[in-house]
Amino acid sequence: MKLELYHRWHCPYSAKVRNFITINKLDQQIKFHEIEEDMRAEIRLENLTGKTRVPCLVIDNKPLLESQAIMDWLRDNLLGGNGVSAH
């Protein structure tokens, strides 16, 4: 399974998802793309979703938006329904 997180460093919703990923030690399973640092990533995100809204988790080329939905998906699919919440 290919997982990519499109985010912005200064976005609080992106930070919440990044914190969740770090706390639950999922960093090595997800490729990160900061869309303000990588114009190609921003273009790819826009092509996938029609916008440049972050955070966006791309799961095998299928985008998932909304920080809570992303954390729920990670919890259910990578952590067996468990996991530490990010605050």
pTM over 0.85: yes
Domain-located, residue 30? yes
| Number of domains comprising the chain | 1
* The pLDDT of residue 86 is above 70: no
Q: How far apart are the first and last CA of the chain?
A: 27
Domain-located, residue 83? no
- Tell me which residue of 32, 2, 16 sits closest to 71, measured CA to CA: 16
36-64 pLDDT, tens digit each:
999 999 999 999 999 999 999 999 999 99
Domain that holds residue 17: 3-78
Domain-located, residue 87? no
Torsion of CA 18, 24, 25, 31, to 10 degrees: -40
Domain-located, residue 85? no
Domain harbouring 46, CATH code = 3.40.30.10
Domain-located, residue 84? no
